Amino acid sequence: MSPRPPIVRSVPNWGGMRQRFGIAQALIARPRLLIVDEPTAGLDPGERNRFHNLLVGASSETVVLLSTHIVADVADLCPNMAIMANGGIRCSGTPEALRQRLRGRVWRQRLSQAEADGARQHLNVISTRLVEGRSEIHVLAAERPGEGFEPVEPDLEDVYFAELGPQVTGGGERAA
């Protein structure tokens, strides 16, 4: 009798399954603290949602420390957050409280690349994003920084870039 050939099949969404399996392994011991590093990087939207639900469920009995650069994860999962740089905490609080600190002080305008480069010379440009072929800059200022600027409701990326500044963030390039 010849041996049966091994059954080989691909496992869909393996990244998410592996992530959930790792969390399940960690939770078996009922830890008081669970540290997860970039837990949703590389997951498709469905797996990301399932993983979010798993972390929220775990947080009812365990303190979950989430280390991530994915701002949407922080907004969706974290009742409290901190921004760290150079080994220290730069700011902390609820996401809403940190956004509130910037309310009325973030302004945006879409400019050509050359105009955006010029604006960086005399304005506190905290981030730049390419939108429809133009540079959308976010400026931190107590008052409207000039003609054509409109107020914007600050998001957690604004908090991050305002706190760390372009010298730390490499110019405040925002994801499109």
By the 8 A CB rule, do 53 and 132 touch?
no
Instruction: Indicate if the pLDDT at residue 174 is higher than 90.
Output: no
d(CA 162, CA 75): 17
**CA separation, residue 73 to residues 13, 21, 25, 52 (Å):** 19, 19, 22, 8
Higher pLDDT, 13 or 113: 113
d(CA 62, CA 170): 35
Q: How confident is the model over 26-48, as pLDDT tens digits?
A: 888 889 999 989 888 888 888 88
Ranges of each domain in the chain: 15-78, 100-169
pLDDT score recorded for residue 103: 98
CATH top-level class of 15-78? alpha beta
Question: Quick one: how far is CA 43 from the chain centroid?
Answer: 14
| Contact partners, residue 18, CB within 8 Å, separation at least 6 | none
pLDDT, mean over the chain = 86
CA-based radius of gyration for the chain: 21
| Residues above pLDDT 70, as percent of the chain | 85
Instruction: Indicate if the pLDDT at residue 171 is higher than 60.
Output: no
pLDDT score recorded for residue 48: 86
| Contact partners, residue 70, CB within 8 Å, separation at least 6 | 38, 40, 41
pLDDT score recorded for residue 33: 93
H helical segments located in the chain: 14-28, 45-58, 71-77, 95-100, 113-122, 156-169
| Contact partners, residue 52, CB within 8 Å, separation at least 6 | 40, 73, 76, 77
SS3 at position 126:
strand
Instruction: Indicate if the pLDDT at residue 169 is higher than 70.
Output: no
By the 8 A CB rule, do 104 and 151 touch?
yes
* pLDDT band per the 50, 70, 90 thresholds, residue 130: very high
The mean pLDDT of 80-98, rounded to a whole number, is 94
pLDDT score recorded for residue 54: 86
